Amino acid sequence: MPAECRVIDYSDQYPLRATVLGQAASPKPGDDAPDTLHVGVYIDGQLVSIASVYHEPPPDSTDAGAWRLRGMATLPDAQGKGYGRLALSRCIDHVRASAGTRIWCNARAGAVDFYRALGFSVRADAQDVPGHGLRYYCERPV
């Protein structure tokens, strides 16, 4: 069965977020904002990948065209099969349709190559994000 990428409720992503990212199953600021998009990729009815985009500029910026990618996660046994790429593509389409100009995120070290392969530029210096560890700022135009 082919992968199905669809809009999901923000609460639908909590179990996968907790499993893959180790994050508590709780709302993030902006989860319920009207322009926020949460997507999930399903295989045979199982949620295997998630991603969310929020209309939020990066730190130290007021860029109204910037959107934040957050909570991107794919189950370990589903990684490397294009499901994360599919979820991210849907998010990028949403940002474009919303007149956004760029998408950014704070990536875990293990995800930096994924973002590079999809056209993101990556800052060389990692930031220690309290409660989350080292993160690399990544961004790309849409």
**Domain containing 8 — which CATH number?**
3.40.630.30
Statement: residue 24 has pLDDT above 70: no
Query: Mean pLDDT over all residues of the chain?
Result: 92
pLDDT for position 94: 98
Asked if 5 and 39 touch (Cβ cutoff 8 Å), the reply is yes
Domain span holding position 121: 4-141
Over the stretch 77-94, which tens digit does the pLDDT of each residue have?
999 999 999 999 999 999
pLDDT for position 131: 72
CA distance 80 to 78: 7
Query: Which tops the pLDDT comparison, 28 or 35?
Result: 35
**Count of the separate structural domains present in the chain:** 1
pLDDT for position 25: 60
pTM (2 decimals)? 0.91
